[in-house]
Structure 1
Amino acid sequence: MLTSSRQCRCCGATFAQLLSLACDRPDMCPEDMPQQDNTAIIAERGDVLTDDFCRIGDLHFLRCVLAVPLIGGDEEEFVLGTWASVSRENFDSYMDLFELRETETLSNCPAWLSNAIPPGMGEPVAGMLHMRPEGQYPELMISETGHPLYPLQKNGAQLEELFDLLYSYGHDMASLVYDA
């Protein structure tokens, strides 16, 4: 895809491959809430945002990935780093095994996509978190067939569709790929 490192014109980041988006917090998490070390989720009461966990009131969130296969891309995937809301029980079970890097022993669990992807999608979207081995973030599979991400995950996406998604976030990746 990209044959050499390129610099994004909008944010200045350097990429050697197709950009993967990452959300630094669930959408409902205030922008001024500081991100803390993961230990804060246990050590502190109330609302907390860490690298991998978030608690806001009675809501519990886990960092996860949402992968979209690239059609004709030799099993390449476009990865969205995002957040999912889960039950307190599933949150606690995941946390118990997180440091041991044994979360794959958990069953898959219902979850809600907690970031507006694509932008402008306001309501949380139902999905299923699939646990992955060796301490990898769980993968969120969208289960609402009417959501724009559902067919992309199920059938894959053309490169142009991914460029459109990235462009909606302000990244002009098409120019990085096609401008030599």
Structure 2
Amino acid sequence: MDAHLARMLTSARQCRCCGATFAQLLSLSCDRPDVCSDDLVVQDNSAVLEERGDVLTEDFCRYGKLRFVRAVLALPLADSRGAEFLLGTWASLNEDDFDAYLDLFDMRETESMGSRPAWLANAIPPESGAPVACMLHMRPEGEYPELQVSESNNALARLQQTGVQLEELLELLYAYGHDLPSLVYDS
């Protein structure tokens, strides 16, 4: 394993641009689907059941006719013996799948849904553009479902298959405003 990657995976770091401290490799999390208005306030999950209209909670979003659930997009790290970089993202589901997921969420039984077609609702990297077709794989014990990119010609699909190199990961982090290269190479 690359020594720089090993340090990123095992030692605490502080991002110089935002001050956040990370005990291990930084994972990113999008706070809302890209189409969702920035002025929509994040509420408790119960709001999705109690309110009508547009609602953004920690794990669900209803925006117009669109429905979203919180998900993860895992990118294996090349030459790391199984380590992954996790992106907390949002997945767009059809209304029936969204309702079924919502019904099973509190019981931690979403795994019974299996896999469902979905769209990655966040542009990764930020300038990448249009939504990406995916399969949303439900996971056990209340874990967020995992997105697997379906579009074989998409760069994220390649990264999910072959793994992300350290330099590619640093470029991705930099695109989101984190200056981690200096933390890796200065230590």
| TM-score normalised according to structure 1 size | 0.97
Equivalence for 2:100: 93
Take 1:161 and 1:52, find their aligned partners in 2: how far apart are those partners?
Answer: 28
Q: Which amino acid aligns with 1:67?
A: A
Alignment of 1:10-159 (within 5 A): 10-159=17-166
- 3-state DSSP of counterpart to 1:94: helix
Long gaps (5+) in structure 2? 1-6
Percent identity, please: 64
Give me the whole-angstrom Cα distance separating, in 2, the residues matched to 1:11 and 1:58. Answer: 35
CA distance in 2, matches of 1:176, 1:146: 33
Does 2:181 align with 1:174?
A: yes
- CA distance in 2: counterparts of 1:17 and 1:23, whole angstroms: 19
Q: Secondary structure of 2:73's partner?
A: strand
Structure 1 consecutive aligned stretches of length 4 or more whose deviation exceeds 6 Å = none
Give the corresponding residue for 2:3: none
Specify the SS of the correspondent of 1:146: coil
Cα distance in 2, alignment partners of residues 122 and 155 from structure 1:
22
Q: Does 1:161 align with 2:168?
A: yes
Q: SS of 1:105's equivalent?
A: helix
What is the Cα deviation at residue 4 of structure 1?
A: 3.0
Structure 1 runs not aligned, ≥5 long: none
- Deviation string for 1:33-68 (max 9, x for gaps)? 000000000000000000000001110000000000
Letter paired with 1:41: V
Shift of 1:145: 1.6
**CA–CA distance in structure 1, aligned partners of residues 178 and 87 of structure 2:** 14
Q: TM-score, normalised by structure 2?
A: 0.93
CA RMSD of aligned residues (A): 0.9
How far residue 107 of structure 1 moved from its aligned partner, in angstroms, is: 2.2
Could you say which residue in structure 1 is the equivalent of 2:11? 4
Which has the higher mean CA deviation after the structures are superposed, 50-59 or 4-13? 4-13
How many angstroms does 1:77 deviate by?
Answer: 0.1
